[in-house]
């Protein structure tokens, strides 16, 4: 068997064995008579322990890397030469023990992402020629294959529902546990769960190409993608380790004191320095991914920590991106037949305004959702609808004028006020009289004020809203919000111009968009954040992707990024201080090789433990999340 | 071209990563190799006419690393 594999397989037993030998050896060394037995035990332990260290040192050397293992190897060989067997045994044992504990604790910090990728489906049930369902591995599915999914099953592919209906939770993709209705024509995603019902799905994409596959790949790659600081540490370690080696050689040549030289090698090991930054990143990115926040690497958290300006695209980020009736003025109480007729017309239309009106009427007057009847309709382009031989009118003021509906001065004033507030108007008239005036607008997400507050506390100085909507409409929307600037009437390239202006003024800018039409701004920003329904589409462009369509997750993402960055800085500090303390200890003759190795391994475990704190999600943020979930549910219940 | 993902045992040292990557890149038929250190995976783009996923997996095993799983993705292009 390959020696690395042997040690890998039996590492626990080898650890125990060397530990016991070293312990016995040390105890016996206090007894003068048994001194030679003690030396033998320590030598055996040292040699067994040193073998894996030496193999790794050599294999790294083959790739022109001077590794920590090489420093330890030389130190241990040196210890044998000066017959400091106890030092050799202690150092190798502690090094192996440290390695073992490191692997254990590292697994923990990596677990968050491991759990995510374990959710990836592995098999699907496919209808065979004889109508029987057979289980087939995911790799063998082709686009077009029909797969069957029943309640409680995981949906195995990205595709379209061709038969059946049910409810799915898409927590694996969005982090949100809401039930989403699925019927013929709905899109479904691999890795999500069908909670209720029975579906047949036509496969579109499978495995690594599916949305879920891409998310996993992105997170896995992001964990290796370090920040500039992390890269610097890597480079530093690349030169640092050889420097320690050279320093050790110089000390030996200068003083002739081999003992001092090899102690220096052990003390100079950059253990915590090498692992400190990456481990914080791994824990942080994994933890974020579980909350539906995808961070593309350490450079993003570092940039976001410096960000002082946050620019929002309005539609789909600050707002829900779905227009709804926000203001209604009733002039005559409408009768139920009239309402039913209008609702019947509106619900068949795909026009966003029609849907807003239909939803409003249904909710306000508690109409049954399934109505019979097929009213006669004439669409007047750019003005609205004339229903049942022009007896019912739904549309703009122009439409009403055209059919000679009387509008009183009072009504005129109301209409102007609604327009001035940035609303789109839909008027409903019957038999020559205005009955209802509806102001329609995109709705602000309920969690926006609270999150803007949180962002301020996190140190974002400028909060800016940019939008393609009219300035008046934008300003009306921003009333009462803690925003510094509001700019409307912008084309996508205008948004880019604004963004560049802030950057030229020396600000570090994050741009938050809904990901579909904001790609240029997402790319130009120091941190591009894609948010909401379109977010999965923007995986490639954005630096950070918020899979949940909620503003709260933006606050959480910024807060978490800052914690990851702070954690990285803490870990690097701990590592540097450790080395500094050890080296000064050596100058004053206070530390020897054994103690040095012990402190080193301890510092490595400390930085890993520190990084593990990132795996715990703060209570405050989970509370905020549940609050926003309640409000969302209320909204859904209302529609 | 086809893609395969080798799920490896936990990688603990960055030099393991270099070793695995170096050996795979030198293999005939291999177009591109990404070794994900923290995820413990090797993603390989290869020519299925020249080399098989099993051979690739054997190369990694011979270096002394565990291969837990071989995930083959459908042919691309």
Q: List, for residues A96-107, the tens digit of each pLDDT value.
A: 888 787 777 777
Interface predicted TM-score (ipTM) over 0.85:
no
Instruction: Give A440→chain B minimum CA distance, Å.
Output: 48
For residue A131, what pLDDT is reported? 77
- Rounded to whole angstroms, the Cα distance separating A559 from A562 reads 5
* Residue of A62 and A159 predicted with greater confidence: A159
pLDDT classification of A632: cutoffs 50, 70, 90: very low
Nearest residue of B to residue A279, measured between CA atoms: B38
Of B12, B39, B71, the CB nearest to A220: B39
Of B13, B36, B71, the CB nearest to A139: B71
Q: A73: number of CA atoms within 13 Å, CB side?
A: 16
Of A65, A99, A209, the CB nearest to B15: A65
Nearest residue of A to residue B23, measured between CA atoms: A63
Mean predicted lDDT score pLDDT of chain A: 82
Instruction: Give B18→chain A minimum CA distance, Å.
Output: 7
**Mean pLDDT across A610-617:** 86
For residue A574, what pLDDT is reported? 92
- Rounded to whole angstroms, the Cα distance separating B74 from A115 reads 24
Asked if the model's pLDDT at residue A633 lies above 50, the reply is: no
Average the pLDDT over each of A35-39, A229-233, B46-50 and give the range with the smallest value.
A229-233
* Residue of A457 and A474 predicted with greater confidence: A457
Question: Cβ separation of A5 and B66 shorter than 8 Å?
Answer: yes
- Rounded to whole angstroms, the Cα distance separating A280 from A124 reads 36
* Residue of A177 and A621 predicted with greater confidence: A177
Where a domain ends, among A530, A555, A580? A555
Q: What is the CATH number of the domain that holds A365?
A: 3.40.1110.10
Q: Which range marks the domain in which residue A505 is found? A: 292-320+445-555
**Mean pLDDT across A425-431:** 90
For residue A460, what pLDDT is reported? 92
**Mean pLDDT across A363-370:** 78
Please check whether residue A397 lies inside any domain of the structure.
Answer: yes
Chain A positions touching B12 (Cβ under 8 A) are 99, 102-103, 106
* Residue of A309 and A494 predicted with greater confidence: A309
Give contacts of B 15-44 with A, CB under 8 A: 15, 18-19, 22, 34, 36-41
- Rounded to whole angstroms, the Cα distance separating A81 from A184 reads 78
Residues A429 and A478 both lie in one domain = no
**Mean pLDDT across A469-482:** 83
Of A63, A113, A207, the CB nearest to B39: A113
Chain B positions touching A106 (Cβ under 8 A) are 10, 12
- Rounded to whole angstroms, the Cα distance separating A4 from A14 reads 13
Contact in structure between A151 and A195 (CB atoms under 8 Å): yes
**pLDDT above 70 coverage of chain A, percent:** 89
* Cα angle: A574, vertex A578, A582; to 5 degrees: 175
Residues A478 and A524 both lie in one domain = yes
First to last CA, chain B: 7
- Rounded to whole angstroms, the Cα distance separating A235 from A341 reads 72
**Tens digits of residue pLDDT in B34-50:** 888 777 888 899 998 89
Instruction: Give B28→chain A minimum CA distance, Å.
Output: 20
- Rounded to whole angstroms, the Cα distance separating A481 from A453 reads 9
- Rounded to whole angstroms, the Cα distance separating A345 from A370 reads 12
Query: A515-520 long-range contacts, Cβ below 8 Å, gap at least 24?
Result: A515/A541, A515/A542, A515/A545, A517/A492, A518/A313, A518/A492, A520/A492, A520/A493, A520/A495, A520/A496
* Residue of A209 and B31 predicted with greater confidence: B31
Chain A positions touching B5 (Cβ under 8 A) are 208
* Residue of B4 and A5 predicted with greater confidence: B4
Q: Does the annotation count A313 as an active-site position?
A: yes
Please check whether residue A635 lies inside any domain of the structure.
Answer: no
- Using alpha carbons, select from A164, A211, A173, A210 the residue that is nearest to residue A192: A173
pLDDT classification of B68: cutoffs 50, 70, 90: confident
Nearest residue of A to residue B34, measured between CA atoms: A221
Split into its structural domains, chain A has a count of: 3
Which among A6, A63, A71 is the top mutation candidate for probing chain B, defined by the most B β-carbons within 10 Å of its own β-carbon? Answer: A63
Residues A439 and A450 both lie in one domain = no
Residues A307 and A449 both lie in one domain = yes
Asked if the model's pLDDT at residue A627 lies above 60, the reply is: no
Chain A positions touching B41 (Cβ under 8 A) are 220
For residue A451, what pLDDT is reported? 92
Question: Cβ separation of B38 and A63 shorter than 8 Å?
Answer: no
**Mean pLDDT across A388-413:** 88
Q: Which entry of A99, A158, A313, A592 is annotated as an active-site residue?
A: A313
* Residue of B62 and A409 predicted with greater confidence: A409
Question: Cβ separation of A139 and B73 shorter than 8 Å?
Answer: yes
User: Alpha helices of chain B — where are they, by DSSP H?
Assistant: 14-26, 53-62
**Tens digits of residue pLDDT in A103-160:** 777 777 777 667 777 777 888 888 877 778 888 888 788 888 889 998 888 898 999 9
Residues A451 and A548 both lie in one domain = yes
**Mean pLDDT across A292-299:** 84
For residue A197, what pLDDT is reported? 85
Asked if the model's pLDDT at residue A233 lies above 70, the reply is: no
- Rounded to whole angstroms, the Cα distance separating A323 from A410 reads 26
Asked if the model's pLDDT at residue A393 lies above 60, the reply is: yes
Residues A477 and A532 both lie in one domain = yes
A616 Rama sector, left if φ>0, alpha if ψ -120 to 50, beta otherwise: beta
pLDDT classification of A638: cutoffs 50, 70, 90: very low
Residues A395 and A481 both lie in one domain = no
For residue A511, what pLDDT is reported? 92
Domain ranges within chain B, ordered by starting residue = 2-73
Alpha-carbon distances of A89 from A99, A391, A492, A551, rounded to whole Å: 15, 98, 67, 57
B49 in contact with chain A, both atoms CB, cutoff 8 A? no
Cβ-Cβ pairs closer than 8 A, A with B, add up to 72
- Rounded to whole angstroms, the Cα distance separating A94 from A597 reads 7
Where a domain ends, among A190, A205, A220? A205
Residues A375 and A389 both lie in one domain = yes
For residue A538, what pLDDT is reported? 65
Contact in structure between A85 and A46 (CB atoms under 8 Å): yes
B57 in contact with chain A, both atoms CB, cutoff 8 A? no
Where a domain ends, among A380, A412, A443? A443
**Mean pLDDT across A266-281:** 80
* Residue of A566 and A315 predicted with greater confidence: A566
Contact in structure between A446 and A631 (CB atoms under 8 Å): yes
**Tens digits of residue pLDDT in A298-333:** 888 888 988 999 998 877 788 877 788 888 999 988
Mind spelling out the 3-state secondary structure of A7-68?
HHHCHHHHHHHHHHHHHHHHHHCCCCCCHHHHHHHHHHHHHHHHHHHHHHHHHHHHCCCCCH
Asked if the model's pLDDT at residue A196 lies above 70, the reply is: yes
**pLDDT above 90 coverage of chain A, percent:** 15
- A177 burial type by CB count under 10 A (0-12 exposed, 13-18 middle, 19+ buried): exposed
B74 in contact with chain A, both atoms CB, cutoff 8 A? yes
Q: Compute how many other C-beta atoms are within 10 angstroms of the C-beta atom of residue A254.
A: 10
Mean predicted lDDT score pLDDT of chain B: 82
Which among A4, A224, A269, A614 is the top mutation candidate for probing chain B, defined by the most B β-carbons within 10 Å of its own β-carbon? Answer: A224
Residues A316 and A463 both lie in one domain = yes
Eight-class DSSP state of B48: T
Alpha-carbon distances of B50 from A35, A256, B29, B53, B55, rounded to whole Å: 62, 57, 5, 10, 10
Question: Cβ separation of B66 and A206 shorter than 8 Å?
Answer: no
Asked if the model's pLDDT at residue A13 lies above 60, the reply is: yes
Average the pLDDT over each of A91-105, A395-409, A536-550 and give the range with the smallest value.
A536-550
Chain A positions touching B72 (Cβ under 8 A) are 139
Q: What is the CATH number of the domain that holds A527?
A: 3.40.50.1000
Please check whether residue A598 lies inside any domain of the structure.
Answer: no
Average the pLDDT over each of A90-94, A238-242, A534-538 and give the range with the smallest value.
A534-538
φ, ψ for residue A425 (rounded to 5)? -100, 135
- Rounded to whole angstroms, the Cα distance separating A240 from A273 reads 10
Residues A462 and A427 both lie in one domain = no
Q: What is the CATH number of the domain that holds A156?
A: 2.70.150.10
Chain A positions touching B21 (Cβ under 8 A) are none
For residue A428, what pLDDT is reported? 93
Question: Cβ separation of A2 and B12 shorter than 8 Å?
Answer: no
Please check whether residue A438 lies inside any domain of the structure.
Answer: yes
| H-run or E-run covering A4 | helix A3-9
What's domain B2-73's architecture?
2-Layer Sandwich (3.30)
Of B5, B12, B15, the CB nearest to A99: B12
């Amino acid at each position: 068997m390959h020696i690395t594999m042997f040690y890998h397989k039996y590492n626990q037993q080898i650890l125990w064995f060397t530990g016991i030998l070293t312990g016995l050896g040390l105890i016996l060394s206090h007894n003068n008579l048994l001194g030679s037995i003690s030396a033998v035990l320590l030598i055996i332990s040292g040699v067994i322990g040193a073998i894996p260290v030496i193999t790794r040192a050599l294999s790294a050397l083959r790739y022109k890397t001077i590794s920590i293992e090489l420093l330890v190897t030389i130190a241990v060989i040196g210890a044998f030469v000066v017959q400091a067997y106890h030092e050799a045994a202690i150092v190798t044992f502690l090094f192996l023990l440290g390695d073992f504990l490191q692997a254990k604790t590292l697994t923990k910090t990596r677990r968050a992402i491991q759990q995510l990728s374990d959710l990836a489906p592995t098999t699907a049930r496919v209808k065979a020629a004889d109508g029987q369902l057979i289980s087939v591995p995911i790799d063998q599915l082709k686009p077009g294959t029909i797969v069957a999914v029943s309640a409680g099953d995981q949906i195995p592919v990205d595709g379209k529902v061709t038969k059946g209906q049910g409810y799915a939770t898409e927590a694996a993709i969005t982090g949100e546990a809401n039930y989403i209705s699925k019927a013929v024509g709905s899109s479904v995603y691999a890795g999500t769960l069908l909670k209720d019902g029975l579906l047949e799905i036509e496969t579109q994409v499978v495995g690594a190409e599916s949305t879920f596959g891409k998310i996993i790949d992105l997170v896995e790659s992001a964990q290796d993608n370090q920040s500039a600081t992390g890269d610097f540490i890597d480079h530093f370690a690349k030169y640092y380790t050889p420097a320690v080696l050279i320093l050790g050689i110089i000390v030996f040549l200068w003083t002739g004191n081999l003992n001092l030289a090899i102690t220096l090698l052990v003390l100079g090991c950059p253990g915590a320095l090498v692992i400190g930054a990456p481990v914080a990143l791994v824990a942080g990115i994994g933890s974020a991914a579980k909350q539906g926040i995808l961070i593309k690497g350490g450079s993003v958290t570092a940039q976001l920590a410096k960000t002082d300006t946050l620019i929002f695209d309005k539609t789909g980020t600050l707002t829900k991106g779905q227009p709804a009736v926000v203001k209604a003025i009733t002039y005559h109480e409408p009768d139920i037949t009239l309402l039913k007729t209008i609702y019947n017309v509106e619900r068949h239309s795909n026009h966003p305004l029609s849907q807003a009106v239909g939803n409003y009427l249904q909710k306000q007057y508690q109409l049954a959702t399934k109505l019979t009847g097929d009213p006669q309709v004439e669409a007047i382009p750019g003005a609205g609808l004339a229903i049942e031989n022009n007896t019912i009118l739904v549309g703009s003021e122009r439409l009403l004028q055209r059919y000679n509906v009387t509008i009183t001065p009072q009504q005129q004033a109301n209409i102007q006020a609604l327009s001035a507030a940035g609303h789109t108007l839909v008027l409903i008239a019957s038999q020559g009289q205005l009955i209802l005036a509806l102001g329609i607008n995109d709705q602000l997400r309920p969690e926006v004020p609270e999150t803007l507050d949180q962002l301020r506390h996190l140190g974002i100085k400028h909060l800016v809203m940019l939008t393609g909507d009219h300035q008046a409409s934008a300003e009306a929307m921003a009333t009462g919000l803690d925003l510094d600037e509001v700019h409307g009437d912008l084309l996508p390239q205008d948004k880019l111009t604004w963004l560049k202006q802030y950057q030229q003024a020396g600000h570090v800018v994050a741009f938050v968009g809904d990901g579909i039409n904001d790609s240029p701004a997402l790319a130009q920003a120091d941190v591009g954040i894609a948010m909401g329904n379109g977010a999965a589409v923007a995986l490639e462009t954005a630096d950070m992707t918020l899979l949940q369509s909620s503003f709260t997750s933006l606050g959480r993402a910024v807060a978490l990024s800052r914690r990851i960055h702070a954690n990285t800085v803490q870990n690097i500090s701990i590592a540097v201080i450790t080395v500094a303390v050890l080296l000064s200890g050596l100058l004053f003759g206070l530390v020897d090789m054994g103690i040095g190795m012990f402190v080193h391994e301890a510092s490595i475990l400390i930085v890993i433990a520190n990084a593990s704190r990132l795996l715990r999600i703060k209570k405050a943020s989970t509370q905020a999340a549940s609050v926003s979930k309640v409000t969302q549910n209320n909204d859904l219940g209302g529609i | 071209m086809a893609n395969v993902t080798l799920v490896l045992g936990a990688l603990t040292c960055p030099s393991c990563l270099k070793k695995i990557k170096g050996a795979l890149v030198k293999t005939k038929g291999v177009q591109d190799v990404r070794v994900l250190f923290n995820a413990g995976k090797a993603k390989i783009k290869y020519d299925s006419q020249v080399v098989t996923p099993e051979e690739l997996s054997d190369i990694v095993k011979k270096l002394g690393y565990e291969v837990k799983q071989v995930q083959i993705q459908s042919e691309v292009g």
